[in-house]
């Protein structure tokens, strides 16, 4: 009798262990098949009039020397979207604040900073298609107008297709009077030199992010001013399409 009970107890114990093992396998199969948590939903598109940008990074994966070596004009893009952190980094490199006294990433004659920066957004994750004005002091974007203006901007740039095909276009404009009020006509030269400084910063930062861009100077200024809604004392200097390299 004792031997029979012992054998039955072992059989029963084996049955319980087998049940637990089968149940565990079933649970693991469900978890691996369907995931432990619900699928993450994509972040909603931001339609706000003011967008606070992510903090820029101050350390990168490649050196300045490597960025200089690899910098090229790129006119062909994959059509994939950019991210808001990438846009933030590009804008900071172009005209971001780097000192409590208000100094920026690019030098400026007399620290007068005549340049303004606009972003014509076509394809940025979680950011509505619109024209935005970059505010360096707050590191934020202020919406100027809604809509995808890339095709209009490309037409104003003598039909250069890369302006339409870039995920964004960064447009540098100048308020010349900020500089000429102090330096006279020579200030015009200083403004153009400063635009070159800012554009090169942008080129190197895009290279470091493995993005492609090209600087465009051929465009109808009056038409670009109209598209961006610029003030009368403000003139476009550069159109710079940016996208993922194909």
Contact status, residue 106 vs residue 194, Cβ threshold 8 Å: yes
Distances 94 to 100, 113, 195, 201 between C-alpha atoms, Å: 17, 12, 9, 6
Contact status, residue 112 vs residue 182, Cβ threshold 8 Å: yes
CA distance 4 to 164: 85
**H-type alpha helices, the chain:** 2-34, 64-70, 84-95, 150-156, 161-165, 177-183, 186-208, 221-228
For residue 103, the surrounding DSSP H or E stretch is none
CA distance 159 to 106: 30
Listed in sequence order, the residues at least 6 apart from 203 whose beta carbon sits closer than 8 Å to its beta carbon are: 71, 213, 215
Longest Cα–Cα distance of the chain, Å, equals 114
Question: 73-105 as b/e, with b when 16 or more CB fall inside 10 Å?
Answer: ebbebeeebbebebbbbbbbbbbbbeeeeeebb
pLDDT of residue 44: 64
Closest by CA position to 56, among listed 131, 1, 136, 124:
136
pLDDT under 50: residue ranges of the chain: 1-14, 16-17, 19-41
Question: What tokens appear for 117 in the block?
Answer: 């920066």
Output the CA angle 31-37-38, nearest 5 degrees: 115
pLDDT of residue 3: 43
**For 108-160, how does the pLDDT look when each residue is reduced to its tens digit (9 = 90+)?**
999 999 999 999 999 999 999 999 999 999 999 999 999 999 999 999 999 99
């Amino acid at each position: 009798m004792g031997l029979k009970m012992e054998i039955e107890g072992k059989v029963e114990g084996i049955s319980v262990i087998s049940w637990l093992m089968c149940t565990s396998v079933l649970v693991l199969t469900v978890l691996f098949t369907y995931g432990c948590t619900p699928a993450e939903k994509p972040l909603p598109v931001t339609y706000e009039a003011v967008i606070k940008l992510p903090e820029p990074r101050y350390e990168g994966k490649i050196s300045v020397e490597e960025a200089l070596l690899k910098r090229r004009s790129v006119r062909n893009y994959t059509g994939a979207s950019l991210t808001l952190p990438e846009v933030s980094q590009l804008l900071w490199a172009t005209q971001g604040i780097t000192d409590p006294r208000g100094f920026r990433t690019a030098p400026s004659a007399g620290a007068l900073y005549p340049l303004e920066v606009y972003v014509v957004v076509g394809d940025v994750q979680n950011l509505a298609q619109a024209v935005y004005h970059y505010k360096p002091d707050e590191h934020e974007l202020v919406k100027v107008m809604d809509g995808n203006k890339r095709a209009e901007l490309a037409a104003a740039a003598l039909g250069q297709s890369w302006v339409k095909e870039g995920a964004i276009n960064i447009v540098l404009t100048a308020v010349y009077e900020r500089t000429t009020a102090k330096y006279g006509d020579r200030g015009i030269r200083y403004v153009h030199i400063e635009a070159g400084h800012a554009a090169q910063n942008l080129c190197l930062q895009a290279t470091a992010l493995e993005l492609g861009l090209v600087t465009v100077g051929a465009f109808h200024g009056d038409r670009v001013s109209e598209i961006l809604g610029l003030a009368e004392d403000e003139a476009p200097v550069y159109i710079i399409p940016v996208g993922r390299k194909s």
